C-alpha cells in the first residue's frame, strides 16, 4: 500500500515527480488549480496540451481520464491532467471521481513516477462536497496497487485539510482492523 500524506498549501510548488491538475475537457486552462499550474508552469504546458488535443483527444479529454505533459517551470517533472466530474445531487458520479485517481496513478506508473500530488479534484468550481470527495479520493488511492511510493494530497483551504485528515484517519483505522 503506498504512503499517503496530506499537506496544506499550493500544489504548484510541491517537489514531487508528478502533480495532478484538476483540468477541464478542453485541456486549455481555466481557474483554480488549472489556472495556477498553467500560470506558474508557463506556456510549454499549454502547448503540449494543445498537441494532445490535436493528436489524441480532438473531442476533448473525457471525464475520468488522464494524460501527462511535462511540468514546464514547476518543480515537478510531469503534470498529469485529469477531468473530474461536475457534482450532481441527483446522479452518482463517484465512479468518475474514482477514475480520475486510478487513471492518474496508471499514467504515473507508465511514466515511472515515484511520487504524485493530487489536489482535491472537483471540490472547487465543480462543486463536489468535500466529505464525499475525500472519501472517494482516499479510498481509491489506499486501495490502489500502484508502483508510486508516495501519494500526497495538497489541500488549499484549511477546511479541506481538516476533512481529508478526518477521512484518512477513519479509512486507516478501518484498514488497520481488516488488514
For helices 130-142 and 158-178, angle between their N-to-C axes, nearest 10 degrees: 40
Q: Choose which of 18, 105, 113, 154 interacts with ligand APR (CB under 6 A).
A: 154
Taking the CA of residue 127 as centre, how many other CA atoms within 13 Å lie in the half-sphere pointing to its CB? Answer: 5
- Per CB under 6 A, does 22 bind ligand APR? yes
Distance, CA of 19 to CA of 36 (rounded, Å): 12
Q: Choose which of 121, 137, 141, 163 interacts with ligand APR (CB under 6 A).
A: 121
* Sheet of strand 150-155: strand arrangement: 3-8, 150-155, 115-118, 18-23, 78-83, 66-70
Tell me if residue 135 is catalytic.
Answer: no
Q: Choose which of 6, 16, 36, 67 interacts with ligand APR (CB under 6 A).
A: 36
Residue tagged active-site, from 5, 10, 17, 34: 34
Region binding ligand APR by CB under 6 A among candidate stretches 63-71, 90-98, 107-115, 154-162: 154-162
Residues lying near ligand APR in the complex (CB under 6 A) are found at 10-12, 22-24, 30-36, 84, 119-126, 154, 156-157, 160
Task: Report the catalytic residues.
Answer: 34
Amino acid at each position: 500500500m503506498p504512503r499517503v500524506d496530506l499537506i496544506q498549501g499550493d500544489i504548484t510548488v510541491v517537489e514531487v515527480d508528478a502533480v495532478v491538475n484538476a483540468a477541464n475537457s478542453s485541456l486549455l486552462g481555466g481557474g483554480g488549480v488549472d489556472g495556477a499550474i498553467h500560470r506558474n508552469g508557463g506556456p510549454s504546458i499549454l502547448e503540449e496540451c494543445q498537441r494532445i488535443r490535436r493528436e489524441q483527444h480532438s473531442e476533448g479529454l473525457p471525464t475520468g481520464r488522464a494524460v501527462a505533459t511535462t511540468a514546464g517551470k514547476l518543480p515537478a517533472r510531469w503534470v498529469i491532467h485529469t477531468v473530474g466530474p461536475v457534482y450532481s445531487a441527483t446522479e452518482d458520479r463517484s465512479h468518475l471521481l474514482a477514475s480520475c485517481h486510478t487513471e492518474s496513478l496508471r499514467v504515473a506508473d507508465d511514466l515511472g513516477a515515484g511520487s504524485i500530488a493530487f489536489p482535491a479534484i472537483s471540490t472547487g468550481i465543480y462543486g463536489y462536497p468535500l466529505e464525499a470527495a475525500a472519501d472517494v479520493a482516499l479510498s481509491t488511492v489506499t486501495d490502489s496497487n500502484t508502483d508510486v511510493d508516495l501519494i500526497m494530497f495538497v489541500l488549499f483551504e484549511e477546511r479541506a485539510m481538516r476533512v481529508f485528515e478526518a477521512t484518512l484517519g477513519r479509512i486507516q483505522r478501518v484498514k488497520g482492523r481488516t488488514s
